[in-house]
Structure 1
Amino acid sequence: MPEITKTERNRKLVLEGFAEFARGNIDILRTLLAEDFVEHSPGNPSGRDAFIDFIAHAPVAGAQLELKRAIADEQYVVMHYLMTPQGEERGTAVVDIWRLEDGLIVEHWDVVQPVPEPAEIPNGMF
């Protein structure tokens, strides 16, 4: 049986963690993030514990998350998904970029864009 590559292992780790988080398990982040995790999004704190405390109260924590695609390359996993917080109709398009080392997420970047009216995106957001 062929050995799993680093890319495949990291992709699986992040996607399984995303699925668990999407089911409401915020504590899964404690097993995925390095203690000295670095966050690059404006207003979001770095450090595993500070980041988890922040995310637990952010709109993403209670939102419906619908993964559209994932791309992995060695130490990076990129996810493109629709985040629809409770009470919102169209939601938000999100791209997360996760960098991993030794089986843990050590860095994160994101791009977040509200989904506009359908007439404004004739080819769709996803």
Structure 2
Amino acid sequence: MSPINDSSTATRNKHLVLDGFTRFAAGDIDVLRTLLREDFVEHSPGNPSGRDAFIAYIAEAPVARARLDLKRVIADDDHVVIHHLMTTDDDPRGVAVVDIWRLAGGQIVEHWDVVQPVPEAAHVPHGML
């Protein structure tokens, strides 16, 4: 098996998602206009599909005003997985989030996520993140 080089699909997709995550975490919601394909499919309950509907929804959602602390990134061909901590002033312990993004042609075409509230440290002696 040959090593992955910087021109691999996984590496390109990882850089694309990381750049988008960094910009979004800094408050740039408009980055989603170029990152998401117009027919973007959202798999999270209650979140709309379609780029424009999803962006309008996210702009009003708590994540748009939260602090996002990246913990790890995993890339495999057309999928990129981001594990991060999302906190707000009202919820300093926050939630652990795993986002799974599928990309095609340099844009995100699908998204899944798993969100779990972070309990008190005594309940997770080895940490969650």
> How do 1:71-86 and structure 2 match up within 5 A?
71-86=74-89
Residue identity over aligned pairs, in percent, reads 66
Q: Structure 1: which 5+ runs fail to align?
A: none
Aligned residue for 2:101?
A: 98
Of the three residues 97, 103, 119, the one matched with 1:116 is 119
Q: Structure 2: which 5+ runs fail to align?
A: none
* Matched AA of 1:41: S
Instruction: Output the TM-score relative to the length of structure 2.
Output: 0.95
The separation in 1 between residues aligned to 2:124 and 2:56, in whole angstroms, is 35
Q: RMSD over aligned Cα, in angstroms?
A: 0.9
> How do 1:58-73 and structure 2 match up within 5 A?
58-73=61-76
In the TM superposition, structure 1's runs of 4+ consecutive aligned residues that sit over 3 Å from their partners are none
Q: CA deviation at 1:89?
A: 1.6
* Matched AA of 1:121: V
Q: CA deviation at 1:19?
A: 0.1
Instruction: Output the TM-score relative to the length of structure 1.
Output: 0.97
| Number of residue pairs the alignment of both structures matches | 125
Q: CA deviation at 1:3?
A: 5.8
